[in-house]
Amino acid sequence: MKKLVLFGCLCATISISSCYTAKIAHGSLTVDSPVVKVNSKKNHALIDGLIPLNSGWEAKKYIGDRKDYVTKSQMTFVDGLLGVITLGIYTPTTTMFYVPLNDVSTK
């Protein structure tokens, strides 16, 4: 019985990996523009994301004064695993920040 429960938890964890992704382009970019990841932020929440635990944050803190950028919020495999382990009580997500490829210096 114990092996069946562990197998069920493993199957549930694998099946929900990266089940949530939202990509938003800001400024004159599109979601298909060539971009480079510059930063990421972990978002903490309770009860399947209904109660956020993070205080508000601004993208400016992560991308500087750029007007053109892309944000991608997703539930990574680790985020999903934590959600399954806590039975949906704690459900983190990760937000990644991208800037245009030509904005990044190659020095």
Report the number of distinct structural domains present in the chain. Answer: 1
Q: Give the max Cα distance, the chain.
A: 58
The confidence band for 106, taking pLDDT boundaries of 50, 70 and 90, is: low
pLDDT at 55: 72
Residue 96 has pLDDT above 60, yes or no: yes
- Measured between alpha carbons, how far is residue 91 from residues 41, 82, 88, 99 in Å? 14, 7, 6, 27
Q: Note down the domain range covering 97.
A: 2-103
The confidence band for 12, taking pLDDT boundaries of 50, 70 and 90, is: low
The confidence band for 10, taking pLDDT boundaries of 50, 70 and 90, is: low
H-run or E-run covering 70: strand 69-74
Residue 17 has pLDDT above 60, yes or no: no
Q: In 3-state terms, what secondary structure has residue 14?
A: helix
- Type of residue numbered 26: H
